[in-house]
Chain A
Amino acid sequence: MQTFILAGGFATRLWPLTEKRAKPLLPLAGHPIIEHLINAIPADFPVTVSTNAAFAEGFRAWIAILNRPVSLVVEESKSDRQKTGALGALAEWIAQENIEEDVLLLTGDNYLGFSMEQFLAAYQQGTPLLAAHDLKNLSKAALFGTVITDPQDSTLVTGFEEKPLNPKTTLVSTGCSVIPKETLPVLKSFAALHPDNIGGIFEEFLRHHIPVRCFTFTEPWLDVGSFDSYLAAHRLLVGEQTLLAEGAAVTDSVCSGGIAIGRGSHIRKSELHNCIVFENCEIRDCILRDCVIDNSCMLQGVDLTGKMLREGTILRLT
């Protein structure tokens, strides 16, 4: 089975953290978000990551230090307005590489708490499978695309609803699915018309009377799309720990909640609560709560709450 990871978004809601890096490469508990996915994929599955021209270099650098081979497909777009669409990128890769295998399709900015082994074990040859998270809350489900299943067979999908006002189910669609090789022609013809409608492919399968199965899970699932969801994912994975990367140091400081300090960063005489500090930052005499500090920032004597700071920011209270 081939693995195709979608990482072609521009993540504008996470600006300025995504100014120079793709969202899947944002650090989460000491590793890029995408690496948590990669580690869950069986070692014998070839992996391809699809990204855009703006972030290609970042992915090349990441692949160079990764301990497993990953291919990179680069979509020649440099902005949101030029994007060809996730499904279009997938169809193009299938055509170019002449893929005739099942495809494990993942979204690079998702954190999946379930066992990939169990998910793949639920796959029946020739039947599309998608992972559906049970939110167990109808009002929360209204914010996502919901997956409606057969009352007699809870694994058989009968329909989808996009952000319904009155959801019929608490199951929501996630960025993890298996596309069987038998259905690739349907995918290619649908992608030609709707290159940006990746979720719509399963509805298209149903329209073609191809049964779709779902794997329901209740373990954590996080779609890192905003500052809040990024911090939520950080809190989930880091818990109450303080993670220090190589060369990082925290001295005379109070840390609470989840703290992740990147390589070469130094924290002195400060209070930190639920913070992510990237690489080579100098923080002194600061109080930071729920903040994400990008590379090479220098902060002194400031109190910040709920801020994302751009790379190279210098704030010194004089």
Chain B
Amino acid sequence: MARHRFLLFLWLGSDALLFIGSFVLAYFVRVGWIFSSNFPFAPFLTIVIVTAPLWLIIQISQRTFRLTETQTDLRHFLSLVWSNVVGIALFSLAYFFAYDLFTSRLLLVEALLFSTIILWIWHMIFTFIARRSLWRDPAAFPTLIVGATREAAKLIEMLQRRKNPLKPVAILDGRGTSLMTLHGVPVIGKLDKLEETLERFHISHLIQCSDLEQSLNLLSVCRNRSLTYLLLPSVLGIVERDERVESLENVAVMIVRPQGRSA
């Protein structure tokens, strides 16, 4: 099994266990370190186990399990809180439907608190481990950078610093830069070396950082070879980080919405 698939399954499994574990912890904190006969543990655990896969689906729909994304930002934290709130709601509903009973409200609050804190810490630890594993040679996602620009240099430096699974291994520059390397990544040549570079470095991802006029051809190569294509917005002249990929009547569009505009 590919390294990243194994890590993904490991992540899903460990998250489910920690979600269940957070509820178990909340149970014992609430009722004391005993199996209460007033609030039996087995039915409680059963409902938590039933809820866990549904909670995982919520997490997946929130795009949480993406090894290429940072887990330390506010967006990820809020997404985790939201998933856990939905998870708690699902648990309450399932418990009510199964036993015609409401569970302890304070237990739910504690379960939300524990699951959020535990999973937040675990996600940071897990991605730290996973990124190092995926970064190790041979890299899980050898990435080709097109364009030896300052934007490309910034991107490479950031990917290297954060040990992002997309590991830059080669650079091609349509204009023929005189640079031999960029942050230690070799500049192979111009775009005429594309096929050779894709073969030689077993490229899985291509990030276009310049040469807008060649977008169609780079996309064509990526489609033919089933590579993932990424485009830096700066290639289109969008440099202020106010772009979003959204949809307009179900057609994907890139939207640049300057601050102060509501629509």
| B190 adjacent to A12 (CB under 8 Å) | yes
Q: Contact partner of B220 among A12, A18, A306, A310, CB < 8 A?
A: A310
Could you tell me which residues of chain B, from 176 to 212, have a CB within 8 Å of some CB in chain A? Answer: 176, 189-195
Interface centre among A15, A304, A312, A313 (most CB of B within 10 A): A15
| B220 adjacent to A313 (CB under 8 Å) | yes
Is the C-beta of B174 less than 8 angstroms from some C-beta in chain A?
yes
- Chain B neighbourhood of A11, CB < 8 A: 192
Could you tell me which residues of chain B, from 52 to 79, have a CB within 8 Å of some CB in chain A? Answer: none
Determine the residue in chain B with the shortest Cβ distance to A227. B213
Q: Contact partner of B192 among A18, A304, A314, CB < 8 A?
A: A18
Instruction: State the A residues within 8 Å of B (CB).
Output: 10-12, 15-16, 18-19, 79-81, 304, 306-310, 312-315
| B217 adjacent to A12 (CB under 8 Å) | no
Tell me the bound Cα distance from A310 to B195 in angstroms: 12
B217 to chain A minimum Cβ distance, whole angstroms, is: 4
A313/B216 contact (C-beta < 8 A), A12-B176, A15-B174 known: yes
Determine the residue in chain A with the shortest Cβ distance to B191. A15
| B220 adjacent to A15 (CB under 8 Å) | no
When A and B form their complex, which 7 residue pairs have the shortest distance between CB atoms, in order from nearest?
A: A313-B220, A12-B190, A310-B217, A15-B191, A12-B192, A16-B217, A310-B220
Besides A15-B190, A312-B224, 16 more A-B contacts (Cβ < 8 Å) are A12-B189, A15-B192, A15-B217, A16-B191, A16-B214, A18-B192, A19-B194, A79-B192, A79-B193, A80-B192, A310-B217, A310-B220, A312-B220, A313-B217, A313-B220, A314-B220
A264 to chain B minimum Cβ distance, whole angstroms, is: 20
Is the C-beta of B30 less than 8 angstroms from some C-beta in chain A?
no
Mask of B109-121 contacts with A, CB within 8 angstroms, 1/0: 0000000000000
Tell me the bound Cα distance from A15 to B174 in angstroms: 9
Is the C-beta of B223 less than 8 angstroms from some C-beta in chain A?
yes
Tell me the bound Cα distance from A12 to B195 in angstroms: 13
| A308 adjacent to B220 (CB under 8 Å) | no
Determine the residue in chain B with the shortest Cβ distance to A78. B196
| B216 adjacent to A19 (CB under 8 Å) | no
Tell me the bound Cα distance from A16 to B221 in angstroms: 10
A257 to chain B minimum Cβ distance, whole angstroms, is: 21
| B220 adjacent to A80 (CB under 8 Å) | no
Interface pairs (5), CB distance under 8 Å: A12-B176, A12-B192, A15-B190, A81-B189, A312-B224
A176 to chain B minimum Cβ distance, whole angstroms, is: 26
- Chain A neighbourhood of B221, CB < 8 A: 310
- Chain A neighbourhood of B214, CB < 8 A: 15-16
- Chain B neighbourhood of A81, CB < 8 A: 189
Tell me the bound Cα distance from A15 to B193 in angstroms: 10
A153 to chain B minimum Cβ distance, whole angstroms, is: 41
